[in-house]
A and B are shown apart, each in its own frame.
Chain A
Amino acid sequence: KAGVTQTPRYLIKTRGQQVTLSCSPISGHRSVSWYQQTPGQGLQFLFEYFSETQRNKGNFPGRFSGRQFSNSRSEMNVSTLELGDSALYLCASSLGIAGVNEQFFGPGTRLTVL
């Protein structure tokens, strides 16, 4: 069974631009969660989507948004990029809701904002 895939793997943008990251979950998984990882901050939860509905949202500004499609694939969008948005963005999928179901992570998208 194919794992979680994320595209692109690396991305370089400049301040003020916007970016869209994509995540394809494991087949059959209905939950997709997004995390931001920065040095010293660990994994910061962005949001979780379950059956195309945002189920939970972390403490991030409205510039960070996401959506989930009927095939469970998910996209995350960051508008008006700031230098501090440079991070590794991880996507994770699970059969059921995150937190009580094992999450399977993708390799991440490394975003650099110049």
Chain B
Amino acid sequence: DQQVKQNSPSLSVQEGRISILNCDYTNSMFDYFLWYKKYPAEGPTFLISISSIKDKNEDGRFTVFLNKSAKHLSLHIVPSQPGDSAVYFCAASYGQNFVFGPGTRLSVLP
């Protein structure tokens, strides 16, 4: 049973537009959420995180929104750039539990 779901395996967006990557979780105990980005042949790199006491965290072009009642978080990238093309993983944790989602492949078209 997947505790962290990213239901869109892939997403294509035009350069300059907004990219919205979604993540749903099933365990209401999760209290910290992270997004990682992965390029081919490289390990994932940390992007942005959010604690469950917040509903929004912003870092430059990247904003993460958390809706605890819906057990849903999203990553917004504005404006999208071709260099953002990568696989994005959502991760959730509480205590000793740390779970990654399956990832969404984002393609930003020039």
* Number of residues on chain A facing chain B (CB within 8 A): 25
Nearest Cβ on chain B to A42's Cβ, whole angstroms: 4
Inter-chain contact A108/B93, CB cutoff 8 Å: no
The interface bits of chain B over 15-52 (1 if a CB of A lies within 8 angstroms of the residue's CB, else 0) are 00000000000000000101010000111111001000
User: How many contacts between A and B, using CB within 8 angstroms?
Assistant: 62
Inter-chain contact B93/A105, CB cutoff 8 Å: no
Inter-chain contact A100/B32, CB cutoff 8 Å: yes
Nearest Cβ on chain B to A23's Cβ, whole angstroms: 11
Residue B69 interfacial (CB < 8 Å): no
Inter-chain contact A40/B44, CB cutoff 8 Å: no
Inter-chain contact B103/A42, CB cutoff 8 Å: yes
A99 interface neighbour in B41, B98, B102, B103, Cβ under 8 Å: B98
- Chain B residues with CB under 8 A of A56: 96-98
B-binding residues in A (CB < 8 A): 4, 33, 35, 40-45, 48, 55-56, 90, 92, 97-100, 102-108
A-binding residues in B (CB < 8 A): 6, 9, 32, 34, 36, 41-46, 49, 89, 91, 93-103
